[in-house]
Amino acid sequence: MWTGRQTLGSIESAIAKLHREESQLDAALRSAVGESERLRKERGEALRELARVKLDEMAAGRLVENLDAGERRAAQLLEDYRQRIASIAERRETFLTEVEKGQAQRDTAAKKVEEALDVVEAVRDDVEGRVKAQPAWQEAKAANDAADAIATEAEKKASLSEADLGAKRKPYDDDPLFIYLWQRGFGTGRYNAGNVTRIVDRIVADFVGFGQVRANYAALIDIPLRLREHAATRRAAANERLTALSQVERRAMVEAGIEPKERVLAAAREQLAAADKALEEKHGQLRKLDEERGTLVSEGLNPAYEEALTTIALADSKDQLAALYLEARRTPTGSDDAIVREIETIDAAVTKADGEVVNLRRTAQDLARRRLEVEEVRNRFRGAGYDHPHIVFGNNGSITDVLGKILVGTATSGVLWDILQGGYNNRGPRGRPDFGYPTSPFPFPVPGGGSSGPLGGDWREPDTRGDWSAGESAGGGGGDDGGFTTGESG
């Protein structure tokens, strides 16, 4: 079983491996481009030598001039392309190292939060077990339970009355004459109409018996309001009893020495937030370099390499070159035949080198796509708060397996997200979730911790607050919106 922190670490480790593979691929791509450049220089030299052997001085001069111009331009473009790849690779390597250091620092900070939280929870758990024997706690608990029962019953009655109201008021709402007078405020101080309208409205009111019906309707819609007000009053009284109970529990926790341990936890959260912020900044810088690299290796998005090939092709297409080959093949001398065979061998090697460049660029694009998909899973993971200290994953073997398959390209990030959701569990805090903390300034937030608690990744913010809470059974955490289904209290 892995903690959320350990699971996040395994995902980030996979991303780092993909980044390293991309770096190795960049080195291979630079080498392949350099080989293509070298072969084309050899080919140009062979062509110049053949021109000198087979053509007259003037024709050879024109051909050599064209070849030299094309070669110089192509070499410049290929060198520029290689240098740009090298520059990005060097900068990425620096940021990759910085990101890995930042991840290690954040992991250390997150582990300290887990350890500090565990100490705080241990004190709470111990105090909860002992305080129940104290008469003061027993009295406060009995008063709280009684007040809560009264408030709960009042809320049920208010809810039932509100649910019944729709059916009971329907006959009134369906009477257009009654509703007309009711909405105009007939018979109340807000009624305002001219003399003629007043006369007509009085006739209508007498016809429908508005005076009596109005009193019944007003009482009907007033009852749920009064019941809701009563329920709110009862709940406020119950909250006072809960506060009194919490104060007894809090005093016991303070006497047990929890305050310095809470301060350690608060400091650990501050350190985690600082490490997290620093790492996110590094991630942002690395992301920009990855985007720049992606443009460079994507076919059609960076014309430098294609322009170099086009430049050489234009130089080779001169009429003099065709004449040169024809002249070399027509004469029986062995020296020019050897040069032609050399050129043909070089041409084959150039084709192979160009094919290698194309394949490497395609592989680079595929690796980048897989890395981006895993990075998206990591972002969803953190956005959902899956790295919270209470979160565990019971299927770490499956997670390891699917990450390995993603690294070799036989699985997708969608499978990884499904595996993460399937293994997710929230152990919740020890003991009663709200023990000693409902009105405290420092309850540690739990993902999905109720309507007033922070959700998802907000727990990493040191200033967030939220009651100790546990919800429904775990296992379905985080849909597309990164939400939570919280686990039972441990």
**Per-residue model confidence as pLDDT tens digits over 436-463:** 876 665 667 766 544 344 457 778 888 8
The pLDDT score that the predictor gives to residue 321 is 54
Angle at 235 between CA 230 and CA 236, to 5 degrees: 100
Please check whether residue 464 is in contact with residue 161, taking contact to mean a CB–CB distance below 8 angstroms.
Answer: no
- The yes-or-no verdict on residue 419 having pLDDT over 60 is yes
Cβ within 8 Å of residue 194, ≥6 positions away: none
The span from the CA of 74 to the CA of 89, in Å, is 22
Residue 57, judged by CB atoms within 10 A of its CB (0-12, 13-18, 19+), counts as exposed
Query: Hey, what are 362's tokens?
Result: 């395609």
The pLDDT score that the predictor gives to residue 482 is 39
| 209 domain-assigned | yes
Phi-psi region at 205: left, alpha or beta (left = phi > 0; alpha = psi -120 to 50): alpha
- The yes-or-no verdict on residue 297 having pLDDT over 60 is yes
The pLDDT score that the predictor gives to residue 481 is 38
- List the helix and strand counts (H, then E) for the chain: 12, 3
- The yes-or-no verdict on residue 12 having pLDDT over 70 is yes
CA distances from 363 to 12, 356, 370 (A): 21, 10, 11
| 73 domain-assigned | no
- The yes-or-no verdict on residue 63 having pLDDT over 80 is no
Angle at 228 between CA 226 and CA 230, to 5 degrees: 70
The span from the CA of 331 to the CA of 336, in Å, is 8
The pLDDT score that the predictor gives to residue 45 is 79
pLDDT band at 323 (very low <50, low <70, confident <90, very high): low
pLDDT band at 117 (very low <50, low <70, confident <90, very high): very high
Percent of the chain clearing pLDDT 70 (strictly above): 79
The pLDDT score that the predictor gives to residue 476 is 37
| 459 domain-assigned | no
Distance in angstroms between the alpha carbons of the first and the last residue of the chain: 16
pLDDT band at 229 (very low <50, low <70, confident <90, very high): very high
pLDDT band at 318 (very low <50, low <70, confident <90, very high): very low
CA distances from 181 to 133, 206, 456 (A): 64, 11, 51
CA distances from 47 to 38, 116, 342, 346, 372 (A): 14, 75, 10, 11, 46
The pLDDT score that the predictor gives to residue 402 is 92
The pLDDT score that the predictor gives to residue 427 is 84
| 185 domain-assigned | yes
The pLDDT score that the predictor gives to residue 221 is 80
Please state the rounded mean pLDDT for residues 245-250.
91
The pLDDT score that the predictor gives to residue 307 is 56
pLDDT band at 337 (very low <50, low <70, confident <90, very high): confident
In this structure, of 51-55, 171-175, 202-206, the range with the lowest mean pLDDT score is 51-55
Percent of the chain clearing pLDDT 90 (strictly above): 34
Residue 4's nearest CA partner among 105, 100, 107 is 107
Q: Report the DSSP pairing between strands 424-426 and 2-3.
A: unpaired
Helix (H, G, I), strand (E, B) or coil at 487: coil
The span from the CA of 32 to the CA of 403, in Å, is 30
The pLDDT score that the predictor gives to residue 92 is 87
Whether pTM exceeds 0.75? no
Element holding 259 (H helix, E strand): helix 258-297
Which ranges constitute the DSSP H helices of 132-209? 135-173, 176-184, 195-208
The pLDDT score that the predictor gives to residue 311 is 54
The more confidently predicted of residues 217 and 250 is 250
Host domain of residue 157: 130-258
Please state the rounded mean pLDDT for residues 171-189.
79
Please state the rounded mean pLDDT for residues 163-183.
78
| 200 domain-assigned | yes
The more confidently predicted of residues 476 and 59 is 59
Q: How many domains does the chain have?
A: 1
| 141 domain-assigned | yes
- DSSP symbol at 289: H
Q: How confident is the prediction for the chain on average, in pLDDT?
A: 80
Query: Hey, what are 35's tokens?
Result: 């080989």
The more confidently predicted of residues 50 and 407 is 407
The span from the CA of 277 to the CA of 106, in Å, is 9
The pLDDT score that the predictor gives to residue 437 is 76
Please state the rounded mean pLDDT for residues 272-281.
94
Phi-psi region at 411: left, alpha or beta (left = phi > 0; alpha = psi -120 to 50): beta
Please check whether residue 478 is in contact with residue 448, taking contact to mean a CB–CB distance below 8 angstroms.
Answer: no
Cβ within 8 Å of residue 235, ≥6 positions away: 151, 154, 155
Please check whether residue 54 is in contact with residue 324, taking contact to mean a CB–CB distance below 8 angstroms.
Answer: yes
pLDDT band at 377 (very low <50, low <70, confident <90, very high): very high
- CA 403, distance to chain mean position in Å, is 17
Please state the rounded mean pLDDT for residues 62-78.
63
Which range, 75-79, 214-218, 414-418, is most confident? 414-418
| 156 domain-assigned | yes
The more confidently predicted of residues 165 and 66 is 165
The span from the CA of 297 to the CA of 22, in Å, is 11
The pLDDT score that the predictor gives to residue 325 is 64
The pLDDT score that the predictor gives to residue 6 is 95
| 204 domain-assigned | yes
The pLDDT score that the predictor gives to residue 112 is 96
The more confidently predicted of residues 183 and 401 is 401
In this structure, of 53-57, 244-248, 358-362, the range with the lowest mean pLDDT score is 53-57
